Each structure stands twice: as C-alpha cells, then as structure tokens.
Chain A
Amino acid sequence: MNDGLTTIEKTVLRDYKYGFVTNIEADEATRGLNKDIIRFISAKKGEPEWMLEWRLKAYRHWLKMEEPKWANIHYDPINYQDIIYYSAPKQKVAPKSLDEIDPELRRTFEKLGISLEEQKRLTGVAVDAVIDSVSIATTFKEQLAELGIIFCSMSEAIREHPELVKKYLGSVVPVTDNYFSALNSAVFSDGSFCYIPEGVRCPMELSTYFRINAENTGQFERTLIVAEKGSYVSYLEGCTAPMRDENQLHAAVVELVALDHAEIKYSTVQNWYPGDKDGVGGIYNFVTKRGICLGEHSKISWTQVETGSAITWKYPSVILKGDHSVGEFYSVAVTNNRQQADTGTKMMHLGKNTRSRIVSKGISAGYSNNSYRGLVQVNKNATNARNFSQCDSLLLGDKCGAHTFPYIEVKNKSAIVEHEATTSKIGEEQLFYCNQRGIDTETAVALIINGFAKEVMNQLPMEFAVEAQKLLAISLEGSVG
C-alpha cells in the first residue's frame, strides 16, 4: 500500500486543476507599501477624496499595529514591503459591455468553469469576476437593477453610490478592528457590493469569483452586502489561484448588514492554491468576515467550504444586535499535506431572544493541522439567548492534528449555551467494508467524508453543492494509503 501512496500523491498535485497562469499584461504598482502607493491605488480607481482619507487613516493605524500571534498556525514572517499591492490586467479600453472583455481573460474564466456570457450562464446566478485587484465583469446587472438591486464592483459603488458606501463601509468591521482588516482598509482594490432594497427577494444567486493571477501580488478585496428591511439575498464566492512556489497574501474583508426581517445567506467555496505536498507555496488566507443583524428578526447565515490555502485564518462572525435575530455558521474545513487552518466563528448576542447555531466539521489529513476556534458571547441585556455548537473532527492518518478551542462568555443568566464536540478517525474497517462491496479506497474516502460533512453541504445553494462535494474528495485524494 505504501508504494500506492506516492502515485496517488502525484495525482493530488496534478489535481489542483486551477494552477495555470494567464499570460496577460498587467498594470502594476511598484512593490511595497507607503502613502504614495495608497494614493496611486485610489487614483487608479478614480476615487473621491473622502475615500482616500479613509484609506490613509487605516494605513496610519496599521503602522501602529502588530500582526496577531494567537492563532494555532506557524509561518515565516511576511515582508509587507515585498508585496505588489495593485495589479490589474491591462485592457485597452474599459469594456462597456460583456462582449468587449479581453478574450484572454474571458478564456481564463471559461477554464475555471465560469462563463461570463449571460446566455450560457447557469440560470439564476449572477457573477462578478475579480482578477487580481480589479473586477472585470458583472453579469445580469440590468435585470437586477429593474428590481432596484445594486450588484456591482466595489470601485463602481464608491463612484456611483457614495452615500451607501459611506454609511456602511467599515460599520461592521471597523478600520481598527485587527491587523489584516486595517491593511485591507488601506489598500483594498476591488470586491463586490450588493444592495437589496426593502421587501425585495433577490431572484438569483449573486456570486463573486476571485482569481489571483499575477506574481508577487496580494489580493485585498472588500465585499459589502446590505439587505434592507424584509429583503433576502443568497450570495456565493469562489476562489482559485495559480500554483507558485512563493506564498501569496490574501487579506479580504467582508461586511454584511441585515435590517429588520432581512436575511443574508453567504456561502464560500474557498479553493486557493494550497501549496505543494511539502508545504512550498500556497496562499496565506487572512480574512475578516463579519455580519451584523442590525434589525429585529433578521438572520445571517455563513456557510463555508474551505479546502485550499496554505494557511487559513478566518472567523466569519455575527453580531446579533436586533431582538429575535438569528446567526448561523456552517463550516467544512479540509486540510491535507502541510496545510494549516485556524477557523471558526464568533456569535455575539446583544439583543433579546437571539439565537445562534454553529456546525463545524474539520477534516485533517497528511501532516496538516486543523483548528476550530469559536467564541459565543452573551451580553448582559441579551435575555433568553440560545446557542448550540457542534464541532466534529475527522482524522485521516496519524500525522495530522485536530484542535478545538471553544470560548464561551455568558453575562446573562437566562442564556442557554450548548457545545458538543467529537473526534473520529476514518477506520481501516470502514474502508475495508467499502472495498468488499466493490468500492475502491478513493471513492470510499469520498463517501465517508461527504457523509461527515453532509449537514454543512446541505446548506450550500443547489448549483454549487455537487461541485463542492467533488472538491472535498479531490482535496483528500491520496491521503489514505
């Protein structure tokens, strides 16, 4: 069986099928970070003065901050002066319609399975495609606009809808929140903006597809979703990057705002390049995601399937401010080879009768390390708050690690907080049983992990569930000898 492993391991590497590089001329900033770079980015985007000020303020804060060290991850220090903070594919003229997009870029997204041609697109999904630092296309904009829904790149939102951006940007994740969010606030280059007006149920899935292409660059996107009273939106993001020997930094910030009776469902399928089997290369994924249930009876639900990145550091959280609001976090995090993940959530109960639910499934293989870190906080005034947390870990092999760090802070006696955790191993008995029924080991592992992750996978929009299931299986191929 041991010789089998090496051949399978080769397939694993080959199986990161998004590892290609698109040869396209890029318009780049010089390496490093200083005030001039920030002015350069802001100017490139044609931003108003207030936005530049906002960025510079963030930059000044960042200079005074220190990189967090508390996570259960290990990496060599990042040289922030060695990163290119802005890289945009050169397009001769700004495309006015989807037909004018550079064919090379169009082909890049076709290769990734994302068609930018609306007629070919899965019905019911609108896409914003972001490559390196800029958004290159957004589909179905007109159709959505008829309902009053705004779905566009963040750069466009800053120019076209400044009042909304001013009101909500940084309102959930303040500039000073943490080291990576401060960095993002200073240098973010693009991302998606969604605004769902009162009472509107968004008729299609909104999605953003993030692609890192250029070398030595970091991607710093910023996403903001605002759901007005009684509205509903389901949003999905996907991410991939080329295979490179160097580590690339991805530090995004996502903010969600749900008003009275509004619901936001945010799903992520994260498949950044994880590095090779020895841990060379791969994306450092340091992301801050937070939503606020501002209004009563509002609901925010995070679902994430994390299979990529050399390092994942992210804690999609919900501030339950409105009375009767609901926060949910469903996560599957897979680590293989030398990958490290420290991920989880924070549920902050401020309002009365608020409820939260956490379901985390960690799968570790190879020499990887997978940690769940979660905080459930019930404040003084949060009468009758309820939380249920379930954290399960599945181990493949005996050289990987699974860790659970649950933190619970309760300041109101009426709260009920429950936490359950399990750790299990894919046993040889399970595999042999499947083999005996004619199922080979690779397929057996896929069946077992998909069974393990089912509760979370069921939360994904239908269009992506099948894709995500395959991704889970591919990420773990070769992990059982």
Chain B
Amino acid sequence: MLKISNLHARIEEKQILKGINLDIKPGEVHAIMGPNGSGKSTLASVLAGREHFEVTEGSVTFDGKDLLELAPEERAGEGLFLAFQYPVEIPGLTTTNFIKTAVNEVRKYRGQEPLDAVGFLKLMKEKMSLMEMPQSLLSRSLNEGFSGGEKKRNEIFQMAMLEPKLAILDETDSGLDIDAIRIVANGVNRYRNENNAVLVITHYQRLLDYIVPDYVHVLYNGRIVKSGTRELALELEEKGYDFIKNEVAV
C-alpha cells in the first residue's frame, strides 16, 4: 500500500531524513520509535505533504501513485490520514461543520455524491458510539478549549469518519493520561481491518500495549537502523535509546 524508498528530506539547509525505506501492506500496523530529533515527525509531515520540507531524493508510492506529486488535500482524498500531534483550533467553526466539509470534499475527490444532512447525521451517530465521542464536543468550535485528551479523541473520530486506507498517528499518546490513551487506542483498534493500515509514531512503548504493532522500526538520525517485531519495542523500553545509539556507533 505504502512504499517508501530511499527517502531523503530536508528543512531549509538541514538534512533530516537520510534514506528511509519502509513497506506497509494492508492489514498491518507499523510502529516507528526513536529518540527526540530522530526525524519521526518529519517523516509524518513529508508523507502528509506539509510545506517547507523538501524531498531531495527517493520516492514514495501510495497504492501505486506517486504520493509526492500530490497536494496535501489530494493525498487525503487518496486515503491518507494524519492524526496531528498538535491539532489546531479554529474559532467559530463547529467541529461538526468542519468534519462534514472534510467528508464531502473527500467524497467529491473520489467522485462520490456529497452526503446530505440526514446521511451525514447517520454516519456520525454510528461513528460516535463506536469511538465513544461525546456530542458536546462536536457542537463546539473545532478544538477550541478542548483538553489534550479531547483533541486527540477528536483526531481519532475524524479518522473514523473519513475511513482512510492509511492512518498515521503522530505521537498521539503525548500528553495523555492512561485513560485517554485507552480510549484513543480502542478507537484505532475498532477502525482496523484487513484493508487498511496504521503507522504509529511514538516515543514510548506504552501506546503499543494497546495498539499492538506487527512491526517496530527504530528511527535514529534520519534512518531506520533496526526493525523487528513487538519485542523490539519492549527491549527499547528496557534498555533505553542509548542501546541503539551504541549499536549504531559500533
């Protein structure tokens, strides 16, 4: 589904990604772990198409299409979703209205008819119970005054509404207490099926207790230096990132 080959990217003059290779197939959950500054969030940004990052080498294909050629909104239309580490606030725009616009823009991209009010409400009701999303958040301005946990829950709810093929969770666990992590993880697990995939980017192992990955990759200094199964994450937690640094140095 997603194939990243030898991806290099920089911001201004600073080279951050230095040759990433990654292959994600439908039904899989991949986790990318790594110390601060290793390039984890940059990878998420480059995949979603954020400005200011320049791809200097390599390629990314998504369902056979050259992802890097597409505008951010086209990538979303193709089924790529990014749950933000810091979701933005938009005063005066209700969460419901925002999500309805997003759902219908994505449908338009896919050549589908827009959902009418009734159809949208039905979809929303269904996903709300699935994701344990309270109605009160949906009628408020987008993320305005939301707690950290509410913002992340809103991200996962949007994911459920947009039904992407690939969901990238960028440090979704940061700043959340254990109850909030569990709710978010439950949402992700309910969304998973054999046709979609999840890329979890995290600093800590603990999220992976709830969203169990098939593969774990360690990102260090712009490269994936080690890949393995879930055990690798546990080993990292036990030994700390220094163990990787030492291994790379050798």
Contacts and interface: CB of A to CB of B under 8 A. Distances in A.
A pairs with B = yes
Interface of A: 1, 427-430, 432-441, 443, 447-448, 450-455
Contacts of A451: 90-93, 141-142
Contact of B105 (A428, A432, A443, A450): A443
Given A438-B77, A447-B98, A454 B48 contact: no
Contacts of B93: 447-448, 450-451, 454
Nearest to B79: A438
Given A432-B50, A435-B72, A438-B106, A447 B88 contact: no
Contacts, number: 77
B72 A432 contact: yes
A423 to B, nearest CB: 13
20 contacts: A428-B51, A429-B88, A432-B50, A433-B87, A433-B88, A435-B49, A435-B71, A437-B158, A437-B162, A438-B102, A438-B162, A439-B73, A439-B105, A440-B71, A447-B90, A447-B101, A451-B90, A451-B91, A451-B141, A455-B92
B92 A437 contact: no
Given A451-B92, A451-B93, 18 more contacts: A427-B88, A433-B84, A435-B72, A436-B48, A436-B49, A436-B82, A437-B102, A438-B73, A439-B102, A439-B105, A440-B71, A440-B105, A441-B73, A448-B90, A451-B142, A454-B92, A454-B93, A455-B92
Contacts of A450: 92-93
B163 to A, nearest CB: 12
Contacts of A453: 92
Contacts of B81: 436
Contacts of B33: none
B109 interface: yes
Nearest to A432: B50
Given A447-B101, A450-B93, A435 B88 contact: no
Contact of A452 (B76, B92, B162): B92
Contacts of A443: 101, 105
A353 B73 CA distance: 53
A398 to B, nearest CB: 16
A429 B72 CA distance: 13
A434 B101 CA distance: 10
Given A435-B49, A451-B92, A452-B91, A440 B101 contact: no
Interface in B56-101: 71-73, 75-77, 81-82, 84, 86-88, 90-93, 97-98, 101
A427 B77 CA distance: 22
B76 A437 contact: yes
Closest 9 CB pairs of A and B: A451-B92, A451-B93, A438-B76, A435-B72, A437-B102, A438-B106, A454-B92, A438-B105, A433-B88
Interface in B141-181: 141-142, 158, 162
B51 A432 contact: yes
A451 B92 CA distance: 4
A435 B240 CA distance: 37
